[in-house]
Structure 1
């Protein structure tokens, strides 16, 4: 089936979800959606292209992904392409050595998100970016984040938060940044994207346990009060 494309926009981030086969009939629409998205964004903002529901990627699809990466690079937009591991080589081939696009391999489809609960990295290895997702009995999500949230990892955080919000099964999504050692503007945008998207659906997104450096980054960007609210599960 020729690809269908849906779009979600919030807080300086655009997410394009591609389902089906990105073949010749689908490439004009895809190129148009990418162009419109990039025109909406400014330098250093995020475009996430979710390809986890692709059913096929012929050469025409590889080519148009490469063109999308080039367009992002020309406009200074940060581009993340999220794929299933099996599709990683083809997508990486399409993007080539473009430095504006980062390809992320992720097993979970949007309708079957990964709920794997692994142990965090050793205390002395916080630089290794790591996400741990937990879901309560009533469906609320708690996301534990470890390591550095920067331009190389913000896309993965944004994607996980986007999925958690768009499933519409949680009343609240809590982001625990107690294990985060660094947060830059790309990470702040990922958090704001989730907050804005959630607010439109009546879902609360809150940040808890930010360390000193993370709190400083949130205050400098003027979003500390917006994102940090009392954690309903703690008294600190």
Structure 2
């Protein structure tokens, strides 16, 4: 399955990176770059990674999320993983990353989540 990675700057200054599909070796560098660019270009107070539409993650995808966390942390921005599916939450729990990252549920609509600037 293909994936789509998009980013947007919300009205409140929060940067949101939205992932749909798989996060694996084929696109982990794209995800890491998208998060880094969001932090560098927009200097947000919060970097959110929206996983509602994500279907799979492997170890390289987890590594990309860690890179995003580091980029946000270096810029003194909060890093949040939002709306992880049950399967994603389990992977984050088993690896201990759910304690490392901030996890949250969001009331952002699917329409808002898809209105993004391409990475």
Instruction: Report the TM range for the smaller structure's normalisation.
Output: 0.7 to 0.9
Gaps of 5+ in 1: 1-126
**Matched residue count:** 108
Compute the TM-score of the two structures, normalised by the length of structure 1.
0.42
Secondary structure of 2:65 counterpart: helix
Matches within 5 A, 1:163-182: 163-167=37-41, 169-182=43-56
Matches within 5 A, 1:45-194: 127-167=1-41, 169-194=43-68
Q: Is 1:204 matched up with 2:78? A: yes
Secondary structure of 2:104 counterpart: coil
2:90 is aligned to 216
Q: Is 1:227 matched up with 2:96? A: no
**What's the C-alpha RMSD, in Å, of the aligned pairs?**
1.9
Structure 1 position 192, deviation (Å): 0.8
Structure 1 position 159, deviation (Å): 0.6
Q: Report if aligned partners of 1:184, 1:217 keep a CA contact under 8 Å in 2.
A: no
1:50 is aligned to none
Secondary structure of 1:170 counterpart: coil
Q: Deviations over 1:191-216 (max 9, x none)?
A: 11111221122101110111122112
Structure number with the bigger relative contact order (C-alpha 8 A, sep ≥ 6) is 2
| CA–CA separation in structure 1 for the residues paired with 2:81 and 2:104 | 9
Moved over 4 A (4+): none
Gaps of 5+ in 2: 109-119
Structure 1 position 168, deviation (Å): 5.1
Secondary structure of 1:229 counterpart: strand
